[in-house]
Structure 1
Amino acid sequence: MAAWFRNLPLFVVLILLSAGAMLIPAAAGMMLGDFRTGRLFFYSSLLVGVGAWLIGIALQAHPRPPTERTHLVAMFAAYLVLPVILSIPMQQAVGNTRFINVYFDMVSAFTTTGAVIFEPDRFGMAVHLWRATVGWLGGLLIWISAMAILAPLNLGGYEVTSEAHVQGRVVSSTQQMRAARPSERLRRSTAKLTPVYVTLTAILAILLMSAGEDPIIATIHAMSTLSTSGISPVAGLEGRPGGILAELLIFLFLFFALSRRTFTSGFGRHFIERVSRDREIRLALFATILVPTLLFARHWMGAWEVDELTDLGAALSALWGSLFTVLSFLTTTGFVSEHWDAAASWSGLGTPGIVLIGLVLMGGGVATSAGGLKLLRVYALYKHGARELGKLIYPHSVAGAGRMGRRIRREGAYIAWIFFMLFIIAMAATMTGLAATGLRFEPAMILSIAALSTTGSLAQVAGEAPIAYVALSDAAKLILAAAMVIGRIETLVLIALFNPAFWRS
């Protein structure tokens, strides 16, 4: 039986896991007294599970050894097809809605975008738990696939530092792929990362409950934090019992979306030293400190004009609101502090959304559940720019930082710039498609960035007025769904997937 499961294709395994995940809201519905929703998810679990089991039996007749290409295709197919399967119980539970709305919501959750298309009071907590579970599983899939599938292929941000050091030797990507079979790497990565992911989520949920939050809401917010989906059953953190303490706990756990080194190398005695030297962590801390400081300085000058310098509480609230929201959008989670409005209005600052747009474009760390351009690529472009400015002053200078530093400044920056241009082209294509559906320039730009950076809540806070996803046309929803998938798996992965040389290798 164990060998039978090991020979199953990755896509079939994902369908079986989806069937098992449906039992979570089924149990929650029964416990909360929502028996109709519990039965719907239980019956859907049986239907999907039996279907996946039959597909697995049919494929066992002619088993094929998995390759990097088949896993990459399965990953791409999962984001396109799996939301259809995930929509089956939710379509029945929500009722009185069209399938495209449910499909859009499931694509949004599975890609950890977290775009809100339904009002929070539209359905019960069991359905909210299902949305958070889908987003949580999507974040786990990114953790595992980045290490087991994308890293050996030098994709997903690994292309910036495509040389790996193993026992003092430089090992090429081809040698890394030959070191273990693709299925074996996938099993090892799953066994290594899943306990960490589950444990961190459970710890945060317990801490939020200790802060006074409702158990099921605390669980959903913990899932949304670790997966950076930003899904909430109560429209965010504003007015919650946990207050600033709950926001502080979420703030601390957002650091796991800044670098893969925060969770892939253990939590031993060298954890602090290792993390403090990480390039992505340093860049993230610089942005997290600099942006709130500038906003606070702007607030302070505005407060000078209205003679509110003595209100220390307002100043601290504005500073915390800026600090939390900046880190939340830098990790593309999208949680907004309940003090963000105070931070934005204290000095009369009109539209701070442009700051949040810049943060989500930077994105979080490589091989994390965050979206955007990724901090390592931004760091490579920065180092290359700093080096070029140095050469203007000292044309014959020789830079240090070792082999890896030179790699990042040269080839890494070159590839990072290519990815940046592909991201801009994808954003322009998405904006053009949305404009063709009748949207104006500003909403089209905000929605395009929100989809490609997997930060759905950007639509509510970036513009002068919130943008309602439910009011969009069907064509606009499909365009945004495709943009979410592209933003999640990244354009370089698509190019590699459709590259003829990759299929012949």
Structure 2
Amino acid sequence: MQLYQRVPTGFSSTLIRLPLFLLLFGVFSAMMLVPAIYGGVVRELETARAFLYSAILGLSIFAMIGLAHAGRDPRHGALGPLMSLFSAFVFLPAILAVPFYEGLGTTTFLNAYVEMVSAITTTGATVFEDPERLNGALHLWRALVAWMGGLLMWIAASAILAPLNLGGFEVTARAEPGRTTSHDTSISAPQARVRITKVAAVLVPIYCSLTLLLWVLLAVGGDAGLVAVIHAMSVLATSGISPVGGLTGAESGLTGEMVMFLFMLFALSRLTFSTDTATSDMGGLRADPEFRIGLALVIAVPVVLFARHFIGAVDVNAETDLMGAFRAFWGSAFTVMSFLTTTGFSSANWSDAQSWSGLATPGLLLMGLALIGGGVATTAGGVKLLRVFALYLNGLREMEKLVHPSSVGGGHVMGRRIQKGGAFIAWIFFMLFALTLAVITVALAATGVPFETGLVIAVAGLSTTGPLLDVATSTPISLIDLAGLAKGIFVAAMVLGRLEMLAIIALLTPDLWRG
């Protein structure tokens, strides 16, 4: 903790004193220049002007508010950054939707807002079913917002959620969710901003380098420049955004999918790219339970699917088609990895598995994988593999006690990461998640959405896996056809899924704001 005790001076000190939400507003305003420049290069001038004017206006407002806040100390306690994170997912998309709305010009502001919430929460659901309705600059902006949202979660996990034992860290911590270990939240606000700065200085180069590497590899594999960069950003952010309607429209083919598969491993465990949190205390990546459980699922589920499809292929005399068998297995393996990490890309060979055997893959399987989700403190959504591991370990221990009632626990090496009572906290989270899922489904049904459709929408929002809307049911679900209230409920589901209910409950605890 000594790393965060020295507060920088000068200009960096002024930036640290600014509210986190204001800093995010300034960063995203500056990022609007990227689609503005791209739109100018490819001669999409109306869209380019919308982003340029919005960037100038946003940066001007940021500069004026920043000057007004210069020298002021933050008023809120340790949960101030957490409140800023919540505001970034709720209010910041309204600002980000302005250039999108003006650049498109043929939609409502509500649709643009839903699109931006979906992007910044890395959900990746889109209101616009036809990708050709959006030009390149708008597609780039969607992917860029999602990419920044993923980076925000990388930084926030270590700098905001971990110190407060939220976001999955409550399973391994020794303090209650929403509290630091010392229960002293009044002295943490200045250090929290310094921590954010230092964590960002370490993680931003890693995040950018990985994205650049994947972009180059996809471009070498045959993808067009825009498609390659958007798919690269979408994989790192687990948003599943594509300007060509998915991987079936990509030119990199099987090679590109294999490269993306490798980069999806970063969403299984934070240990794949960082050791800056308490999740790295035991054994490294090889002993990491999240990584091992994730790999086990990625291997076991495709094997089961392949066996099912092989039996179907025997019935249609296609079992000797070796290339068809390979495409079927690879399509299953890639898609399982994609939905487990809540990315949501379906392999271009995913349909080959069904045509090879004549059997359809149930969408409920993909929904289950998305609900499990990826690793703690990664860009993946879902309930997180660490919580699943805590419940598994607790169940294993209970069965051991049935056989040996006098036995003493704690012998499992990986289980030493789980605090006493960690399984209970994980169970509480599962119950909160299930109740939230039920409430959102009922709320959607009250607006006239069919129950099955409402359930898929709720799962897609809470797991931040928007592509479920296209593959979980026999016919794709159209968000644009939903009523305004239903779209608002979906927005709430995406925010809850990204920030999680325990963090929302922490924000509603008055005594944590004192000091």
Q: Report TM bin, short chain.
A: over 0.9
Report the CA distance between 1:240 and its aligned residue.
Answer: 2.0
Separation (CA, whole Å) in 2 of partners of 1:12 and 1:172: 29
Change in 2 beyond 3 A, CA 1:176/1:192: farther
Code of the aligned partner of 1:248: M
Q: Assess if the C-alpha contact under 8 Å between 1:152 and 1:173 holds in 2.
A: no
Give deviations 1:452-473, integer Å, cap 9, x for gaps.
0000000110112111111111
Code of the aligned partner of 2:459: I
SS of 1:244's equivalent in the other structure is: helix
Q: Assess if the C-alpha contact under 8 Å between 2:318 and 2:357 holds in 1.
A: no
- Is 1:238 paired with 2:248? yes
2:223 to 209, 213, 232: 213
Code of the aligned partner of 2:305: L
Superposition map of 1:47-446 within 5 A: 47-60=57-70, 62-64=72-74, 67-118=77-128, 119-163=130-174, 172=181, 174=183, 181-265=191-275, 274-401=284-411, 405=415, 408=418, 410-446=420-456
Q: Assess if the C-alpha contact under 8 Å between 2:171 and 2:419 holds in 1.
A: no
Separation (CA, whole Å) in 2 of partners of 1:501 and 1:399: 36
Q: Assess if the C-alpha contact under 8 Å between 1:364 and 1:374 holds in 2.
A: yes
Report the CA distance between 1:430 and its aligned residue.
Answer: 0.5
Separation (CA, whole Å) in 2 of partners of 1:403 and 1:257: 23
Separation (CA, whole Å) in 2 of partners of 1:254 and 1:136: 14
Report the CA distance between 1:316 and its aligned residue.
Answer: 0.3
| Correspondence for 1:474 | 484
SS of 1:68's equivalent in the other structure is: coil
Give deviations 1:361-409, integer Å, cap 9, x for gaps.
1000000010000000001011111111121122222234369725627
Q: Name which of structure 1's ranges 393-402 and 348-357 shifts more when overlaid on structure 2.
A: 393-402
Separation (CA, whole Å) in 2 of partners of 1:441 and 1:64: 45
User: What count of residue pairs does the alignment treat as equivalent?
Assistant: 494
Report the CA distance between 1:490 and its aligned residue.
Answer: 0.2
1:33 to 31, 36, 43: 43
Separation (CA, whole Å) in 2 of partners of 1:112 and 1:177: 32
| Correspondence for 2:27 | 17
Separation (CA, whole Å) in 2 of partners of 1:498 and 1:403: 36
TM-score by length of 1: 0.94
Change in 2 beyond 3 A, CA 1:252/1:205: same
Q: Assess if the C-alpha contact under 8 Å between 1:152 and 1:174 holds in 2.
A: no
Code of the aligned partner of 1:148: A
Code of the aligned partner of 1:465: T
Report the CA distance between 1:306 and its aligned residue.
Answer: 1.4
Separation (CA, whole Å) in 1 of partners of 2:459 and 2:52: 37
Q: Structure 1: which 5+ runs fail to align?
A: 165-170
Q: Assess if the C-alpha contact under 8 Å between 2:16 and 2:194 holds in 1.
A: no
Code of the aligned partner of 2:164: L
Q: Name which of structure 1's ranges 449-458 and 303-312 shifts more when overlaid on structure 2.
A: 303-312
Report the CA distance between 1:433 and its aligned residue.
Answer: 0.8
Q: Assess if the C-alpha contact under 8 Å between 1:152 and 1:177 holds in 2.
A: no
Report the CA distance between 1:412 and its aligned residue.
Answer: 1.1
Give deviations 1:481-500, integer Å, cap 9, x for gaps.
01100100000000011012
| Correspondence for 1:502 | 512
Change in 2 beyond 3 A, CA 1:407/1:176: farther
Separation (CA, whole Å) in 2 of partners of 1:406 and 1:62: 43
Q: Assess if the C-alpha contact under 8 Å between 1:384 and 1:409 holds in 2.
A: no
TM-score by length of 2: 0.92
Give deviations 1:85-127, integer Å, cap 9, x for gaps.
0001000001121110000000000000000211211121111
Alignment RMSD, CA only?
Answer: 2.0
Code of the aligned partner of 1:430: I
| Correspondence for 2:52 | 42
Code of the aligned partner of 2:74: R
Code of the aligned partner of 1:208: L
* Identity percentage of aligned residues: 49
Report the CA distance between 1:35 and its aligned residue.
Answer: 1.8
Q: Assess if the C-alpha contact under 8 Å between 1:384 and 1:410 holds in 2.
A: no
Give deviations 1:327-363, integer Å, cap 9, x for gaps.
0000000000011112234333334211101100100
Separation (CA, whole Å) in 2 of partners of 1:369 and 1:194: 14
Q: Structure 2: which 5+ runs fail to align?
A: 1-10
Report the CA distance between 1:75 and its aligned residue.
Answer: 0.7
Code of the aligned partner of 1:146: A
Change in 2 beyond 3 A, CA 1:67/1:188: farther
Change in 2 beyond 3 A, CA 1:483/1:417: same
Q: Assess if the C-alpha contact under 8 Å between 2:159 and 2:195 holds in 1.
A: yes
